[in-house]
A and B are shown apart, each in its own frame.
Chain A
Amino acid sequence: MATGNPSVFLLTVNGQIEGANFPEYDNLYCKYCFVYGHDWAPTSGLEEGITQITCKGRQSSHKLIWNFPLETTFKSTNPSGWPQLVVSVYGPDVFGNDVVRGYGATHIPFTPGQHTRIIPMFVPEPTWRLQKFTSWLLGRRPEYTDPKVVAQGEGREVTRVQSQGFVTVSFHIITKDMKKMGYDVGPPSSAIAPSATSGWSTEEQPHGL
Chain B
Amino acid sequence: MAELHIIGHIVGATGFPHSSLFCKWGVHTGGAWRLLAGLKEGQTQVDIPQTGDMAYWSHPIDLHYATKGLHGWPKLHLQVWHQDYFGRCQLYGYGYCHVPSSPGHHRIDCVTWRPLGSWQEQLAQMFVGGGPQLRSPDLIYSGADRYRLHTEAMGSVALELGIIMRHFDKYGVES
Contacts and interface: CB of A to CB of B under 8 A. Distances in A.
A159 B87 CA distance: 12
A197 B54 CA distance: 14
Contact of A185 (B12, B104, B160): B104
Interface size class, chain A: 35 or more
Interface stretch (B41-49, B70-78, B116-124, B135-143): B41-49
Given A160-B83, A161-B46, A183-B164, A120 B12 contact: yes
Contacts of B156: 209
A146 interface: no
Interface in A103-142: 104-107, 109-111, 119-120, 122, 125
Interface in A154-169: 154, 156-157, 159-164
Interface string B1-36: 000010111011011000000100000000000001
B62 A80 contact: yes
A35 B64 CA distance: 18
A81 B39 CA distance: 12
A122 B54 contact: no
Interface of B: 5, 7-9, 11-12, 14-15, 22, 36-39, 42-56, 58-62, 64, 83, 102-107, 109, 156, 158, 160, 162-170
Given A163-B49, A205-B51, 12 more contacts: A80-B36, A80-B64, A104-B58, A109-B162, A120-B11, A157-B44, A160-B46, A160-B83, A162-B47, A186-B103, A208-B15, A209-B54
